[in-house]
């Protein structure tokens, strides 16, 4: 008897096709929104328990580069390398390995969605919600994922051309279900032309900038 073949989840196949169509474009305007809620224990005192940061910019799919600006900083993302502006007109850099993306990079949400999709259900027209593989998502992230985040889900919105218009990755914990983090990338203004994004010619390693013992070293 022939071995039973594994039939790909049709929702995940739709996601893969959507990511491929998105990455086939030259460039796009993009908004990246990072939010989290970490309810504090009484003993924690007056510590921040919620945050929302919005970055706007451009992503060039061919070079795998993006430039993003928020109210308080600027980022340049070059594949696995993250550059961040610091006072004095300088930049820091922090690199992962090839095939990884900082979670602020618009490519991160697309790749986590594509590589991590375990199952997907339609919600409206072509749009789907998906269950994601945590280990695959962690492997695509230079810093990995916090052990607090055990459950990952994605919600998607497709445009009429089958491209991803919006991807939101939501992470929740098992120990504290009321804690969560979400990273959303919204793509608009697709363009077949490439976007010229030049990374800083001079930068300092983030670990050196922060000093000994930083970044868990």
Express each pLDDT in 58-69 by its tens digit.
999 999 999 999
Query: Is the whole-model pTM more than 0.75?
Result: yes
Express each pLDDT in 3-16 by its tens digit.
444 345 678 999 99
| Rounded mean pLDDT, 32-61 | 81
What confidence score (pLDDT) does residue 46 get?
56
Q: Please report, for the chain, the start and end positions of each structural domain, with discontinuous segments joined by +.
A: 10-39+48-64+99-191
Residue 207 CB-density burial (10 A; 0-12 exposed, 13-18 middle, 19+ buried) = middle
Strand order of the β-sheet with 164-172 is 117-124, 127-132, 151-158, 164-172, 180-191, 27-37, 50-60, 65-69, 74-78, 81-86, 90-95, 204-205
Query: Using CA atoms, how far apart are residues 146 and 207, in angstroms rounded to an integer?
Result: 19
């Amino acid at each position: 008897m022939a071995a039973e073949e594994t039939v790909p989840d049709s929702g995940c196949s739709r996601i893969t096709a959507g990511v491929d169509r998105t990455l086939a474009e030259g460039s796009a305007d993009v908004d990246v929104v990072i939010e989290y809620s970490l309810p504090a224990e009484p003993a924690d005192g007056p510590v921040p328990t919620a945050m929302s940061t919005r970055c706007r910019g451009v992503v060039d799919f061919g070079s795998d580069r993006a430039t993003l600006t928020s109210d308080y900083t600027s980022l340049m993302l070059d594949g696995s390398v993250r550059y961040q502006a610091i006072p004095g007109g300088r930049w820091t850099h922090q690199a992962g390995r090839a095939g990884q993306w900082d979670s602020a990079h618009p490519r991160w949400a697309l790749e986590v969605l594509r590589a991590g999709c375990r199952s997907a259900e339609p919600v409206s027209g072509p749009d789907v919600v998906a269950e994601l593989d945590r280990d695959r998502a962690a492997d695509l992230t230079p810093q990995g994922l916090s052990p607090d985040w055990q459950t990952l889900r994605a919600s998607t919105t497709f445009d009429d051309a089958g491209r991803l218009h919006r991807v939101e990755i939501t992470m929740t914990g098992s120990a504290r279900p009321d804690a969560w983090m979400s990273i959303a990338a919204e793509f608009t203004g697709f363009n077949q032309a490439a976007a010229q994004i030049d990374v800083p010619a001079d930068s300092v390693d983030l670990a050196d900038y922060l000093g000994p013992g930083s970044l868990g070293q």
